Chains A and B, each alone.
Chain A
C-alpha cells in the first residue's frame, strides 16, 4: 500500500508570510496532484506534476516534484487570507493502481489578515 505523508497537518500564519507544505512517500509515483478544498465543497485541482524535478508555478504558488518522484512540495509566497483552505496531495502509480489516487491527510492552512 502506498502512503503519502503531508506536513505540517495544521499551519496558521499572518498575511504576507511565506510557507511550504510537504508531501512525502517511500514509494515512487507516476504523477502527483495538488488540490485545495474549502469547507463543504469538493477538492479543486491546482496542478499535476509528472516529471522528476519538475517545477510548476501558479501565480504565488510553486509546486515541485522530487527528482525520484517520491515527494513534492507546495510553496506559497506572500500568503493572503484567500489562500486559507485544506491542501491535499494525491499520487498515482499507473503500473499498480491505474488512475486511482492515494491521498495525503491534508494540510489545513489559515492565513490571518
Chain B
C-alpha cells in the first residue's frame, strides 16, 4: 500500500517570505497527486491536481503554485506568502483508474505571522 510523506509537519513563516512544502509517495507508481487546504475543523479545498510529471491543474486562483518534478514528488510553493495562506495543507494520492480512493499524508500546519 502507498505511504505519503509530508514535511515539515509545522511551519511558521513571516508575511512576504517564500514557501516550499514537499510531498513524496512510496509504494505506487504514476499516481494522481493532489494538494488540499483545510480550515480548522472544516472540509478540504482542492488546490492543485496532477496526473503526471510536469502536468499541473490549478483548481482555484491563488498565491500558490505547484510542481511535480518527479513521478512521486509533489511540491507546493509560493514566492511571497500572505496572511490568508495560513492553514492546514494536505497532500493526497490515488491510482489512475476512476473510482480509486484518495489516501492522505499527515499534513503541514502553516502559520503566517
- Residues on A close to B: CB < 8 A? 6, 30-31, 33, 35, 40-45, 48, 50, 86, 88, 90, 92, 94, 98-101, 103-106, 108
Contact = CB atoms under 8 A, between A and B. Distances in A.
B41 interface: yes
A40 B99 contact: no
A6 B41 CA distance: 13
Contacts of A86: 41
Contacts of B44: 43, 88, 90, 101, 103
A92 B99 contact: yes
A50 B99 contact: yes
B98 A44 contact: no
Contact of B107 (A41, A48, A104, A108): A41
A88 B94 CA distance: 17
B42 A105 contact: yes
13 contacts: A43-B44, A43-B90, A44-B104, A48-B101, A90-B102, A92-B99, A99-B94, A99-B102, A100-B34, A100-B46, A100-B59, A105-B42, A106-B43
A103 B101 contact: no
A45 B103 contact: yes
A86 to B, nearest CB: 6
A33 B101 contact: yes
Nearest to B103: A45
A99 B100 contact: yes
Given A42-B105, A43-B90, A103-B43, 14 more contacts: A30-B98, A30-B99, A31-B99, A33-B101, A40-B106, A41-B107, A42-B90, A44-B104, A86-B41, A94-B98, A94-B99, A99-B96, A101-B102, A106-B43
